[in-house]
């Protein structure tokens, strides 16, 4: 089971790196290892099933990507933060705009989660894991049509926030 979970996390991490255009300083393997370390930091963590594990890993991946983007912005602004837990052997990231977008998306998902928690879960599972409506419905125990409706509402809400309109 752990081998299967590891392979799945590598696949998800690869998709996330491509989706976010993650900097070359964060390899797919480094991202998965950072997620593992984040999960290990929570000794009281209880995982009910494989879908729950993927959801928790996805949340951790979101935080790792956001933290990485914040550190890259701090480096660019002269507040050089250490990237000691990430793979530093690749080329340097020169695109600060990407890091700002990652942080902005994370903040909007957090805002959505405060108002509509289920919608934020749907966005995270779709955006970070790449699950479809049926898979999200199974993971959350809701109907596929509900997932679709919530996705449409959440996407519209997030686009409005990202554009600065309500």
Provide mean pLDDT across the span 73-88. 50
The C-alpha atoms of residue 102 and residue 84 are separated, in whole angstroms, by 20
pLDDT tens digits for range 28-43: 888 888 888 888 887 7
pLDDT tens digits for range 89-142: 333 344 556 678 778 888 999 999 999 999 999 998 887 777 889 988 988 889
pLDDT of res. 56:
80
Q: How confident is the model at residue 143 (pLDDT cuts 50, 70, 90)?
A: very high
DSSP 8-class letter at 36? H
**Helical H segments across the chain, by residue range:** 2-20, 28-40, 50-76, 96-115, 117-124, 133-140, 144-163
User: From residue 7, how far is each of 13, 14, 128, 158 by CA, in Å?
Assistant: 10, 11, 15, 31
Q: Residues with Cβ < 8 Å from 76, sequence gap 6 or more?
A: 96, 99
């Amino acid at each position: 089971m752990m081998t299967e979970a590891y392979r799945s996390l590598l696949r998800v991490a690869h998709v996330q790196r491509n989706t976010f255009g993650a900097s070359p300083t964060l390899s797919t393997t480094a991202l998965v290892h950072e997620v593992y370390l984040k999960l290990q930091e929570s000794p009281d963590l209880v995982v009910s099933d494989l879908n729950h594990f993927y959801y928790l890993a996805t949340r951790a991946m979101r935080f790792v990507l956001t933290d990485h983007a914040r550190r890259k912005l701090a480096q660019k602004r002269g507040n050089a933060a250490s990237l000691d837990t990430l793979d530093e052997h690749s080329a340097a990231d020169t695109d600060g705009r990407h890091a700002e977008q990652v942080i902005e998306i994370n903040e909007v998902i957090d805002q959505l989660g405060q108002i509509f928690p289920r919608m934020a879960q749907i966005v995270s599972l779709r955006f970070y894991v790449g699950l479809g409506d049926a898979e999200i419905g199974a993971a959350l125990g809701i109907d596929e049509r509900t997932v679709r409706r919530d996705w449409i509402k959440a996407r519209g809400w997030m686009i409005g926030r990202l554009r600065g309109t309500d």
